[in-house]
Chain A
Amino acid sequence: MQKKVFQLLVDNTSGVLSRISGLFSRRGYNIESITAGVTADPRFTRITIVTSGDDVILEQIEKQVAKLVDVRDIKELTSTSSVYRELVLIKVKVSSDQRQAVISVADVFRANIIDVAPDSLIIELTGNQSKVEAFITLLNGYEILELARTGITGLSRGSDNVAYFDD
């Protein structure tokens, strides 16, 4: 089993996300995370899927997704030639004497405090997955009330290999 990040450029039609997620569920492929958003050209949506499987499965995933009529392009975002980011929001329970310590940890990670309540903080952190994991580990000593992750999105580096909207 290995993990792969695929980036898709798809037609921004109604139901396109359900067509893609439906393909994964009916063929038994894993989705670890999926993010979608409209691109600079509103006719298209960019989707980033993190999936896992053996080589045969991963090859099939790429081919089956490519076959969908709405899919313009699919490519693998490899860790060496791409950048990945994930955004996470963490609500931590803090007493007034714990607050400063949590803020210090957040500062080290260049995270932002985006909400302060009498007994809690909401921290926003953006980074690659290992940074996010490391940060969550450091908060182990505190009570995490709620946590929301976007799943990763990414882009390949450089201007080669860009799927243009129109040929």
Chain B
Amino acid sequence: MIGADAIVKCLEAEGVEVVFGYPGVAICPFYNSILDSDIRTILIRTEQNAAHAASGMARMTGRPGVCAVTSGPGATNVITGIATAFADSIPLICITGQVNSELLGSDVFQEADITGAVESFVKYSYLVKNVNDIPRIFKEAFHIANTGRKGPVLIDVPIDIQNAALNRFSYPEEVSLRTYKPTVKGHAVQIKKVIHELERAERPIICVGGGVLLAQAEQELREFVEKHQIPVVSTMMGIGAMPSGHPLYFGMVGNNGRAYANRAMNESDLLIMVGARVADRAVSQPGLITRNKILVHIDVDPAEIGKNAGPSIPLVGDARHIIHEFIQEEFTCDHGEWLDTLKEYRNTMGTVRNPNPAYVDPAALIGLLSEKMQENAIYVADVGQNQIWSCTYHIVKEGKFFTTGGMGTMGYSIPAAMGAKLAAPERQVVAVCGDGSFQMSMMELATMRQHEIPVKIIVLKNNYLGMVREYQHYTYKDHYSVVDLSGSPDLKMIAAAYGMRFQRLENMEHASEAVDEFLSGDESVLMECIIDPYDLVK
């Protein structure tokens, strides 16, 4: 057995079913060995999307997604995908081929110091120098990626190590990391303090972030808030932790969030943040949220607590464990009046839009989609105006909502949707992007076709980089610079070129039928929706 065989054995031992990647000489031993395995390989069309696809898969399965690329440019191309996963705390294992270990540091062909380059975007990285370390390193890497605050781990394997003979392969049963022991269980005294505050609070609210989804704590959250009738708002990454139509859910907060959600959070006297960073997009003035209220901050990463706002009660641990502990506590609280107030806010402070009837109204279109998609469908939003409309108007039922809230990487939706579809082939998967973000991942239509991954794609087309145009509208008084997307291809011809079904929607007149047709059948479709180029998210 050689190193490359050992890597494949490690992936098998971890239950990996799919590897996304792009070969080159330096990773060829691995791609040769994987042919003898049942692990499916997906040839992505650019390395960045290998990481995004692995991210989509990880978010669906709750286990690390895996990608494998070659040295040099292959490795540097994947960095944006790794940085995206890092910002969103998505567990990934990224394997990079590397030049011969004896030549390291001599600037040979396709050599890049990838462990050095990704240092600030990975949870940890390894450069394998001894073939016999492979089983231990992979065991540790999967453990590090998927415990504590999750994130990407990179393993750089020189080609001579992949080809070197292994003494004996034995996959460790357990990891023994002397220095890495994340806190999972919440501190009992702190938990009691939170319960005490909940008993006293008149206007409590829970703000959930992506950490609730990463901890798979949705059921516990629902049980807890229903038991005590506690209202919930969410950050962008927390969308889907509660069904959007739940009577206790009051929308997304933040500068792109719902006015009533922000008001609810501001007027609360007890704010419990769970698995959220109190980051700038969700809370623009973190200094203020501790001024007139008790702030409880629950996070698995102690470094997030107190980074942006000093909480009254810090509570380190896994969201699922902690909410489970909350459920066990017997206490009563009564805040019916507060809930009535919030319901009134929700009914009266909704966004008023005046859509231009000559175009497709993205809000109405997304509303139709939500209504007609399967209950457990997966909706992947890209980045730009489309992302804000998706966050605002998509109704998550029993399905999932994925987007990159932390890094905001354009082009995320199509590869991430592919990863999600591969993880859950029985579910409907829809990617919604703009004409800018679509063109950042357009090459993946080939991957979808080659590997028969039936993702449904909506392109909201306005011939502009809409989010930047909107910013230039407000900040530079319509002095538009480098946002015009003229020159974009004819999407009907693009769809035909990749053998996809194509639909075009120009206004809302036949939208309902068009959405029915779009969602029909388990096959990939590209639906171009012409939206008002001057539409605004605010």
Contact = CB atoms under 8 A, between A and B. Distances in A.
Interface of A: 10-11, 14-15, 18-19, 22, 26, 43, 56, 59-60, 63-64, 66-67, 69-72, 165-166
A59 B180 CA distance: 20
B167 interface: no
10 contacts: A14-B127, A15-B115, A15-B116, A15-B127, A18-B119, A19-B119, A67-B301, A69-B144, A69-B179, A70-B179
Max chain A C-beta neighbours (<10 A), residue from B115, B178, B307: B178
B481 to A, nearest CB: 30
Contacts of A67: 301-303
Contacts of B144: 69
Given A19-B119, A22-B120, A69-B144, A11 B303 contact: no
B124 interface: yes
B64 to A, nearest CB: 15
Contacts of A64: 303
Nearest to B148: A67
B306 A56 contact: yes
B179 A71 contact: yes
B189 interface: no
A26 B117 CA distance: 13
B177 A69 contact: yes
Contacts of B116: 15, 18
A10 B179 contact: yes
A72 B178 contact: yes
A21 B119 CA distance: 11
Contacts of A10: 179
Interface string B108-121: 00000001100110
A69 B306 contact: no
Contacts of A59: 306
Interface of B: 115-116, 119-120, 123-124, 127, 144, 177-180, 301-303, 306-307, 310
Across the A-B interface, the 7 shortest Cβ-Cβ residue pairs: A63-B303, A72-B179, A69-B124, A69-B180, A26-B120, A67-B303, A64-B303
A69 B154 CA distance: 13
Given A59-B306, A63-B302, 11 more contacts: A11-B179, A15-B127, A18-B119, A26-B120, A60-B307, A66-B302, A67-B301, A69-B123, A69-B179, A72-B179, A165-B178
Nearest to B140: A69
Given A10-B179, A69-B177, A22 B119 contact: yes
A22 B307 CA distance: 19
Contacts of A66: 302-303
A166 B178 contact: yes
Contacts of A19: 119
Nearest to A15: B115
Nearest to A166: B178
Contacts of A72: 178-179
B303 A60 contact: yes
Contacts of A60: 303, 306-307
A166 B127 CA distance: 25
Nearest to B129: A14
A64 B306 CA distance: 12
A69 B306 CA distance: 21
A44 to B, nearest CB: 8
A67 B127 CA distance: 20
Nearest to B181: A167
A70 B180 CA distance: 7
Contacts of A165: 178
A26 B177 CA distance: 26
Contacts of B119: 18-19, 22
A2 B316 CA distance: 27
B23 to A, nearest CB: 27
Contacts of B127: 14-15
A56 B115 CA distance: 30
**Residue picked from B127, B144, B177, B303, most chain A C-beta under 10 Å:** B303
Contacts of A11: 178-179
A56 B180 CA distance: 24
Nearest to A64: B303
A26 B124 CA distance: 16
B124 to A, nearest CB: 5
Contacts of A71: 179
Nearest to B124: A69
A148 to B, nearest CB: 28
A165 B127 CA distance: 24
Nearest to B120: A26
A63 B307 CA distance: 9
A101 to B, nearest CB: 50
